[in-house]
Amino acid sequence: MPFDRDAPALPGRAVISQTWSSAIFLHWRVDAARVAPLLPPGVRPDIFDGSAWIGLVPFELSRFRFLPLPAVPLVGTFNEINVRTYGIDAEGRRGVVFLTLEAEHLIPVLAARVIFGLPYRWAAIGRRIDRAASAIEYRSRRRDLDGRAAGPGTRIRVAVGDEPVDTELSRFLTARWGFHERHLGRTTWAANEHEPWPLVAGDLLGLDDGLLTDRGFADLARRSPDSILAMPLGHPGFTTRFARPRRA
């Protein structure tokens, strides 16, 4: 079925708001049998062109808010990197399934683990934009609760093009209006809404990754992604709102 670039209305009041910008989407085809054991009960792999897909997605997050309160003090702007795949439940709801999420600030990490059950990890993450080369680079290293480097990381460098991309595959990989998660013994669904992703083609300039390996996909980082997409450099980003999770 075609994927709609426009989000449906939230099925309830929004509880969290945040702004997303500077996103990169690296995706690899994988056999659905590798993905199925990683999904919450009641969720099966979502398939495109005969394959399930694994993504490595860094972006900048800002203006984090618990609605209707103002932005959380001291959080400000920070970077996040997630390893993800895609699932569909018995009601036909297609969404992201996060395998890991790395984030710079401990407050939203703890909040997201409590509210949504998401597998957030605290990490040191840097982002650098090279406008002369039209390139963006992310580097990360996971931390322990004492703030010391203590786990896998990644280095991603992508040249961001100016050719707009809007295909069935790009919509399959990015037009995801919610996520599934296993939380407190049950599978939940949390819807989100935001404006359509502004996407352009990208070229991979470098990848030295341990996050995919950490989740059992070491082979992916040794080969070129099957899809490379990015937000245009200089795009201001957009606001994303999440509804409270519901039992799926």
pLDDT of residue 202: 98
pTM beyond 0.85:
yes
pLDDT of residue 243: 93
| CA-based torsion, 157, 159, 160, 166: positive or negative | negative
Q: Distance between CA 126 and CA 123 in Å, rounded?
A: 10
pLDDT of residue 72: 67
Looking at the predicted structure, is the pLDDT value of residue 141 above 80? Answer: yes
pLDDT of residue 149: 73
pLDDT of residue 74: 64
pLDDT of 64-109, one tens digit each?
887 887 776 666 688 999 999 999 999 999 999 999 999 987 776 7
Q: Compute the mean pLDDT over every residue in the chain, rounded to the nearest whole number.
A: 91
Looking at the predicted structure, is the pLDDT value of residue 176 above 60? Answer: yes
Domains and CATH numbers, the chain: 14-247 (2.40.400.10)
Q: Which amino acid is at 201?
A: A
Q: Could you tell me which residues come within 8 angstroms of residue 14 by beta carbon, excluding any fewer than 6 positions away?
A: 67, 193, 241, 242, 243
